[in-house]
Amino acid sequence: MQKSKLVFFLCLLTVIGCARDKAGTGITVAGSTSVQPFADKWAEVYMDEHPDQVVNIQGGGSSAGIQAAKSGACNIGTSSRELKPDEKDLTEIVVARDGLAIIVHTSNRIDNLTIEQVKGIFTGKIRNWREIGGNDKLITVVTREEGSGTRGAFQELVMKKDRVAKSAIVQDSNGTVREIVAGDPNAIGYISLGLVNNKVRALKLNGVPATDENIISKKYKLVRPFLFVTKGEPTPVCREFIDFVQSAEGQKLVSEEGLIPVK
Amino acid sequence: MTRLERNERLIKIALFVIACSAVSILAVITIFIFSEGTPIMFKYGLRSFLLGLDWYPSEQSFGLLPMIIGSVMVTFGSLLVGVPFGLACAIFLTEFSSRRLRHILKPIIELLAGIPSVVYGFIGVVILVPFIRETLGGPGLSVLAASIILGIMILPTIISISIDSLQAVPRSYREGSIALGATKWQTTKMVILPAAKSGIIASIILGMGRAIGETMAVIMIAGNAINIPRSVLDPVRTLTSNIALEMGYASGEHRQALFATGVILFIIIMILNTIANATSVKGKAAK
């Protein structure tokens, strides 16, 4: 009895030891929840091709990812917004570009808005769809929480110095914003273009539809970078993963998933 | 010293250490929350935290008043839903139902407490929110939706503690009242309920603690706007959802401000618990 317990304990130790060993050679990528699904894809294919490598993808948000890269808690931080001036000491690598889509319910009559109108809606100046040619209904504004990279990019590209109205509904992921807009005929929100599906409709901005071509030709204005950030130069192991992401194959995965390749 | 004695002592010491560790974990959490949260409260002034209307952490404005009011509204809303139903249910189960029915229903109600809060939230999003949006207007994600879901979530707490306190009323009270010619309802209203008052109040306060501390379900159905709601159909953010919503992304002063939110929540819940303890102790003393 005693002996079998001891054997069991030793086995357990070995398993834990092995698991630790494996994590030791791995890469931890943490940060933006917008980048996460794409990073998962990259990691999956990369680990198929390099069975000895372990890439561990975590969420947490852009600010948290940048912090983690700074503190060394992860090897690569991911961000879905530009770095702020005080974060510029990190090495940044653009791995993809993403359009921000302004989405509404599929039944909404509005098809096109100017950036000024979008700003008006989100600051709370425009409160009724009638004011911009829609039905006589109050607008349900859906935004993201403070610190989110998507919100950061939206703030930078659309709101500039103005604040999002306090009455706006706040959700903590692209997915929940999409769900609310899909369910509420009077809602408007913004999500990553790659995540727009047929339950919601992306609006034209200044007459330009949100498509890959218009983003590449820079006609569609709401574009943000997806960044990998590292503290100092990336280590050789990380370099290899980043090279894979930037390679033709990695970038092809990106465009398959609805993002805009950088090369 | 015999072997038995030695064993006895060993077990005693082990239990003591375990008991101490449980208490010390609590102490460590308290110290941690306060040491992280209070410096920023004093830096910007307690007034600006408790009475400030603007929550824009990236611009150094940390007004928590909308969230404090939000928490209070949602909590009282949930009591309006939960207390009448819970109390009625407890009274029915102890005074009016047959023993067999009680043995079937009570475990079912207690099972309600085991449903994870995310499931309640999901039901709220899928059923309640669209219903409110379509019948009453507004975005649906609202004080009302949160109050109803929380009201259901606190039912098991209110019902099971109320049942315990109603059952604790001595049988002689009931017999005496019936012997004087009172009906069953008169007995319940005039004898049983006053006698069980302290336990019922404690159950309500514990339910309140549950409602104020609930996070996941509230995030999903309250809409989380940082405005003070003007009606029950407006979205609202509570203290707990403020922390959970932004924790993942926060850094620097923003993070400290979330700990400050935690401090305020901690104090509110401490006050509630103290009141609950005081009333139940007073009740026992009266007997």
Identify the pLDDT of residue A73.
84
Domain definitions of chain A by residue range: 2-97+225-256, 99-216
A230 forms bridges with which residues in the sheet? A91
Whole-angstrom distance, CA of residue B221 vs CA of residue B215: 10
Identify the pLDDT of residue A21.
45
The DSSP H or E segment spanning A140 is strand A140-144
Q: Do A170 and B245 touch (CB under 8 A)?
A: yes
**What ipTM did this prediction achieve?**
0.81
Q: What phi and psi values does residue A125 have, to the nearest 5 degrees?
A: -70, -40
Which residues in chain A are closer than 8 Å to B243, comparing Cβ atoms?
A: none
Please state which of the four CATH numbers 3.40.190.10, 3.40.367.20, 3.40.50.1100, 3.40.50.620 is assigned to the domain occupying A2-97+225-256. 3.40.190.10
| Percent over 70 (pLDDT), chain A | 90
If you measure CA to CA, which chain B residue comes closest to A186? B139
A105 forms bridges with which residues in the sheet? A200
Buried b (16+ CB within 10 A) or exposed e, B81-108: bbbebbbebbbbbbbebeeeebeeebee
B223 at A interface, C-beta within 8 A: yes
Identify the pLDDT of residue A20.
46
Looking at chain B, list the stretches that DSSP marks H as alpha helix, in order from N- to C-terminal side: 3-44, 46-51, 65-91, 99-112, 117-123, 129-136, 143-153, 155-167, 171-179, 184-187, 193-195, 197-213, 216-222, 239-247, 253-286
What the block records as the tokens of B26 is 């609590």
CA of B146, closest CA in chain A: separation in Å? 14
CA of A181, closest CA in chain B: separation in Å? 10
* Domain spanning A99-216, CATH architecture: 3-Layer(aba) Sandwich (3.40)
Q: Do B54 and A166 touch (CB under 8 A)?
A: yes
* Same topology between domain A2-97+225-256 and domain A99-216: yes
- CB contact at 8 A, A27 and A238: yes
> Within a 10 A sphere around the Cβ of A131, how many other Cβ atoms?
14
If you measure CA to CA, which chain A residue comes closest to B219? A171
Q: Which domains does chain B have, with CATH numbers?
A: 55-286 (1.10.3720.10)
Whole-angstrom distance, CA of residue B86 vs CA of residue B110: 12
Q: What is the mean pLDDT of residues A69-97?
A: 87
The answer to whether residue A13 scores a pLDDT higher than 80 is no
- Chain B interface, best mutation among A146, A155, A164, by max B CB count within 10 A: A146
What the block records as the tokens of B209 is 């603690």
CA of B216, closest CA in chain A: separation in Å? 12
Q: Which of A133, A136, A137 is nearest to A110 (CA)?
A: A133
B237 closest CB neighbour out of A62, A170, A179: A170
Identify the pLDDT of residue A182.
92
pLDDT in tens, A110-164: 999 999 999 999 999 999 999 998 889 899 999 998 878 889 889 989 998 899 9
Whole-angstrom distance, CA of residue B61 vs CA of residue A23: 41
Whole-angstrom distance, CA of residue A178 vs CA of residue A188: 9
B229 at A interface, C-beta within 8 A: no
Which residues in chain B are closer than 8 Å to A137, comparing Cβ atoms?
A: none
- Chain A interface, best mutation among B221, B249, B256, B261, by max A CB count within 10 A: B249
What the block records as the tokens of B170 is 């001595």
Q: What phi and psi values does residue B113 have, to the nearest 5 degrees?
A: -70, -20
Q: What is the mean pLDDT of residues A188-208?
A: 91
Which residues in chain A are closer than 8 Å to B139, comparing Cβ atoms?
A: 140, 169, 180, 184, 186-187
Which residues in chain A are closer than 8 Å to B250, comparing Cβ atoms?
A: 63-64, 146-147
Whole-angstrom distance, CA of residue B226 vs CA of residue B220: 15
A224 forms bridges with which residues in the sheet? A98
> Residue-wise pLDDT tens for chain B (287 aa)?
688 888 999 999 999 999 999 899 999 999 999 999 999 988 888 888 888 888 888 888 899 999 999 999 999 999 999 999 999 999 999 989 888 998 899 889 888 888 999 999 999 999 999 999 999 988 889 999 999 999 999 999 999 999 999 999 999 999 999 999 999 999 999 999 999 998 999 899 989 989 999 999 999 999 999 989 988 899 999 999 999 988 877 777 888 899 999 999 999 888 888 887 887 766 555 54
What the block records as the tokens of B97 is 């139902």
A162 to each of A124, A158, B237, how far by Cα in Å? 11, 9, 21
- 0.90 exceeded by pTM: no
Which residues in chain B are closer than 8 Å to A170, comparing Cβ atoms?
A: 223-226, 237, 245
CA of B11, closest CA in chain A: separation in Å? 21
Identify the pLDDT of residue B255.
87
Angle, vertex CA B145, rays to CA B142 and CA B149, nearest 5: 145
A104 to each of A34, A156, A186, B279, how far by Cα in Å? 19, 21, 8, 52
Identify the pLDDT of residue A7.
57
Identify the pLDDT of residue A19.
47
Q: What is the mean pLDDT of residues A101-111?
A: 92
